[in-house]
Structure 1
């Protein structure tokens, strides 16, 4: 229901802003820009779905081998002590726990191409357990909000863009991103736990959160001790070597179970193709709404209004230059990436705004895209409080990103 209102608001706000630009500013091209944006965004939505087809086909085929080979169940058993607390509605040692574990692990390593198919597989399994097929279950909401919070330990892509833009030390945003994205994820988990009446002070959960904080701190210390040109290299090598090790492990598990590994892969790959087709309408709908909102100039008016308000209060306005990336991130991953690059081009990769935009880009995921993609794959229409909780986590991540930028730079 909330997503319905937000989607309508994109169009109505865009219309009001565009009408004002036409009548007051005499901008005769604004409605042409909006209509062009609808076509471009619809094309982009289809192209994203088409691009996902190959990735989904590959990874759901691999996941099917791991499922029938018993490796997913092994991951489920390993994750059960923690996941049984965060997802109390899931049956003990159910394979979905392994799929969720794999998705979270891929996200932590910044491996988006692997994380998305694993996440869609988890959503299909969660839907099988869902008694109300058109309404998000508690477990789905917890899973989606953690995904949308964007916890990533190795922000490979952001460091790569900073290097391309001429940053003196592309990895100097590594620790700030870790702290900001951790804040976003912890807020997401706490909000959902409170909403679902899950006791966050259980020993296992406290140990988990404490372990994550210690791990992040230790990893930050380790990477800060490395030479700057080694951080991105080691991160990339480690993440991709681990990913290929997992693929080989899945194949070996299939061989041990005496499966016809090739036929099992084809069986899963067919599911991936069907999933890619299913999500097309959902992606087109959300991307067109966002495209219209951007093309109307509504985002520009919002940023300018905030700048005037902040200046009027006598508060430092440096951070306002990074707000386009922050505001765009929940709406469009590509749009936020463009805003980040533009900020580095305009202000400099090593400027306050350039670093803030980079940190914001690595802090959270694209909430509306994630919600449309994952819920759309299983035809969930009533998302309940997923969007509100995810946006609250985005807000926490944005505040944390601004704060750590001031602290570190």
Structure 2
């Protein structure tokens, strides 16, 4: 990450200085303004997350004390054990990761972030090398950056506002693209790990209480098979309902989630108010902890855009990508998406409102699919790793960007196949 951050800044400065000295006045001034605005926006973004994180971390505490996270982890233990063999089956990290994945699947970005931070904190408790990302941390982060989602509500709403005849018609293309990106993250992350080995420092021996707890967790029996089938059928039913009644279902998700957690806590004898307040206390501390990481990423991205380096790179690639099905008007969004989610969303809004493109053209379909099926890789890196002080990211960036590339390729393929007449 040190080299990437330095490269962003040096490329931006070299590009901006070159343009300023060769007859494009005002570039350096624009870069100065951009870095200041981006730094301010990073702090505002982090502080804006305080309330959301405090609320959902409070709910997580209720679920944890009531045993819900352990129960969910036991329910899908076979799958999670294969994905995360380093994590004990009933460890709190399992439940937090499951809640994060579930929130992402349902398009609940605000809810997914607190769950993801909590999962990263729990994974860090198992980390024998503090400050260095473990294989489980990188795999969890790569799955997050692949943007696995069933219901991209924000993109659907944007398409509706742009006058699309069928705003939710991007659901199949989005599901295909995000599934391909997630599979790439799952299968390629172990390969990248071979080129970025963890430190060979002997980990500290596990204390007797911790060992006893791990043995007790490992000894817990899995739930009956019928429970797994019931959960799978419920999930399939939710997918069908989301696809068919997306906008109606999405409005019920967060309120239903709140009520479910509270009712579950009450039935399990949890002091829901005290537990909620105890969990919510972490929200402010986590937000403060991630501010430096957000400032670094957002400022570097803003400099690249203001200097003209990013537009130059887009113009360089456009002749290559257009024959492959990625038109020039969509390429800037595809490149910016891993760097800035808000920037990519703004580009999508402009594209869909453009009369020459529109939401129902091939470019509109493809851009909507890209926005709904990929995640802001560097933002996720900054927030999740920043929350636990990870500085040595190992293969996290390579895994995240590979998942992004797989998502872009899958989106181009499925949109070209399903909507050839719109190209």
Q: Cα–Cα, structure 1 residues 19 and 317, in superposed 2: closer, same or farther, change >3 Å?
A: farther
- 1:237-270 deviations in whole A, cap 9, x for unaligned? 3244344333223222322333321111111010
- Cross-structure match for 2:197: none
The CA distance in 1 between the partners of 2:185 and 2:312, in whole Å, is 29
Structure 2 stretches of 5 or more lacking a match?
A: 195-227
Which of 325, 335, 342 is the equivalent residue of 1:334?
342
Which of 130, 138, 142 is the equivalent residue of 1:141?
138
| Within-5 A mapping of 1:372-383 | 372-383=382-393
1:109 aligns with 2:135: no
| Within-5 A mapping of 1:250-269 | 250-269=261-280
1:15 aligns with 2:4: no
- Cross-structure match for 2:371: 361
Deviates more, 1:141-150 or 1:296-305: 296-305
Q: Cα–Cα, structure 1 residues 306 and 360, in superposed 2: closer, same or farther, change >3 Å?
A: same
Deviates more, 1:239-248 or 1:73-82: 239-248
The CA distance in 2 between the partners of 1:318 and 1:258, in whole Å, is 55
1:350 aligns with 2:360: yes
Which of 296, 311, 322 is the equivalent residue of 2:330?
322
Shift of 1:316: 6.5
The CA distance in 2 between the partners of 1:301 and 1:386, in whole Å, is 27
RMSD between aligned residues:
2.3
How many residues were matched structurally?
380
- 1:250-294 deviations in whole A, cap 9, x for unaligned? 222322333321111111010111111111111111100000001
1:162 aligns with 2:144: no
- Cross-structure match for 2:52: 55
TM-score normalized by the length of structure 2 = 0.85
1:276 aligns with 2:273: no
The CA distance in 2 between the partners of 1:94 and 1:334, in whole Å, is 34
Deviates more, 1:343-352 or 1:91-100: 343-352
Structure 1 stretches of 5 or more lacking a match?
A: 198-207, 224-230
Which of 265, 280, 305 is the equivalent residue of 2:316?
305
- Cross-structure match for 2:217: none
SS at 2:327 equivalent: helix
- 1:29-75 deviations in whole A, cap 9, x for unaligned? 10011010011100110111011000011011111111111111111
Q: Cα–Cα, structure 1 residues 240 and 139, in superposed 2: closer, same or farther, change >3 Å?
A: farther
- Cross-structure match for 1:387: 397
- Residues 76, 96 of structure 1: 8 Å contact kept: no
The CA distance in 1 between the partners of 2:361 and 2:399, in whole Å, is 32
- Cross-structure match for 2:68: 71
Q: Cα–Cα, structure 1 residues 317 and 29, in superposed 2: closer, same or farther, change >3 Å?
A: farther
Q: Cα–Cα, structure 1 residues 11 and 264, in superposed 2: closer, same or farther, change >3 Å?
A: same
- 1:175-217 deviations in whole A, cap 9, x for unaligned? 11111111111111110244468xxxxxxxxxx9xxx9xx99x
1:5 aligns with 2:3: yes
